[in-house]
Structure 1
Amino acid sequence: MSGGMKVTGLAKSYGTAKVLDGLDLTAPAGQLTALIGRSGSGKTTLLRLIAGFDRPDAGTVMIADRPMADVPPERRRIGYVPQEGSLFPHLTVAGNVTFGLPRRARRDRHVVADMLELVALDHRYARRYPHQLSGGEQQRVALARALATRPDLVLLDEPFSALDAELRADTRRAVTAALAATAATTVLVTHDQAEALSLAAQVAVLRDGVIVQAGSPEAVYRRPADDVVAAFVGELTMIPAQLTGDTAETPIGPIALPHPAYGDGAVLVRPEQVMITDPENGFARAKAVTIDFRGHDGLVELLVDAERGHLTLTARTAGQLLPAPGQRVGLHLTGTALASTPGKPRRK
């Protein structure tokens, strides 16, 4: 590994509760890695171990090719942004941004102006206090403070979760632009799967104390490690199928399998893989039952014709192409699907 971060065999228990169980994760240098997992899966614990706030029971942490075993938190060259920003209320924005810098650098007004510009805030914010800022502005200042020391690694612990939708989007854009401009190696913990898929170069899924899959957002979404990961990162429909190796034959047409499978079973498909067409052009016919209009797109609950087994499934399509309730449509499948067979063990 050159630069970046690497944890190997990381384990941590609190009493009899095992939180991390030999976890391995590499965060590539200069890229953003999003860490996702259910509540209580150990995401924040992992960040605290990386930052040095807690000590692991076993395993190693490497940051920028340096082992961290005996390095105290303040010397790890890490920028840490918690969920609420945690700005110092008695300091101005300028005082917060320069808090971790040498005394000479703190007096340089250009440093503050440059850091505020980096996070898309006007230099006039420098004289304000945290209570005079919105939640999104506070998070940007917290990031500016984290980046001001030129850290080897930035840790973001659900930094957008407390913001409303519009403020969240604006803050997210500013933060990701700042991280990209500085080529910062970043680990972002988020409970928002869509956020992880849209922001990260790498997505890591934490379950039962280990990383069960790490890869590009497209790989995790389109080629999940198992059906539990598949369901966690997006909506799914299970369709009965005859598995014939590289292909599954379903009531609404064939679909490719990324891994060979055989026998009676089912496939898991995303709503956007169910294509709605003219009734005469689809592999199967169905009736639109309910419509969930979401503006730019929508979800359609569909009932496949009786001769196809009364199968109910969900399709996603552009808002202007949504059928009306009761309308008959044609269907076919696209892409690849994860196979699920009755005897296949499920990972929890």
Structure 2
Amino acid sequence: MTTTFQPFDVPGAQTVHGNAFPYGLEVHRPDGAASSSDVPTVDDAVLAITSLAESGRLSELLQRHGAVLIHGVGHPSAETFARLVNAAELARGSHPFEQIGLAGKRTLVAENVWTANEGPSDRRFYQHNEYSRYTRFPSNIHFYCQTKAPHGGETPIAHSALVYERLQDAVPALVHEVHQRGLAMKMVFRAPGHEGWGNEFNWAGEHSFGQEFEPGDDRDTQKAKVEAQVRRLTPTFRWLQDDTLELTQHIPGIRRAPASGRPVWFNGLVGRYGMTRDLGALEPPYLGRDGMTYLPCDYGDGTVIPAEYLQRLEEVVDGLEIDLCLEEGDLLLVDNFQVSHGRKPWTGDRRILVSMWANDQFPIETF
């Protein structure tokens, strides 16, 4: 049969500015049956999602709703996801996002498809727009469930325009100060061999700052190549005596979504705060239980952000989360400029894949 998609109501969806969030699409079954014979072939699903993208409908849905959940495609595998997401994004005129400064562990498993952060399953990841605490970030990040956890492992999302609006009411001083001063997002990358444990990364990673490394490079050559990559993000960095790299990226913290023109909370601040708190690294020397250093993020002029502001920020964002329990084969397409995401702990096997894309037709501006 010809594969098409039809709308469905996503459990727990919100209404944001008059639109369903997220928007749901499922494979259309003409007779209403749900037998395995109704699952489309991968080829048919690729044709359907390509048609959706080429028509402009997929971009329209992402711009209006922020996130689109596609259900019922079947055949869960990295290769299926790669075929679907590459077809959709290339048809939209996008190109793969080049990662620089990756502060986590991911594995490339198919064309433009990665494992989601491979940090420990008992660790919660709080809301963040992908790479939003950096000066470079993708316009879209897409998620795919290959293996569903038997317990937990939800993928929570939140609408960044709604976060901004609620923060204006709940913590207006924080919104005002971020708007006026921006944010200084500090990061630490250890030298190879000096990583912590649980979410190991260092500055030599291929998608951290080791993109140009060659076999036989000595340490000085490696550091020079690292600096060239770091400068693509920020001029503000320094080396410590043990070859630890510290860098600070100055970002506005509040931006304007190109799709709607509305201000969005776009900075990763709550994600950083929540993880740092959980790891016991809020106080000097900012050393977490995982052996890694987590420097505090300040206002752009170096002023400390009051702890009570950060606590209230977390409460507001947590209250706006939608916990999505992705089924195997589900594809969650996300406008990274409008929607943040996180990860809940789980037990058992779980495998979520991601793909990141940039689309220069829709640049995001400072608010």
More strand by share: 1
TM-score for the superposition, normalised by structure 1: 0.29
Rg larger for = 1
TM-score for the superposition, normalised by structure 2: 0.28
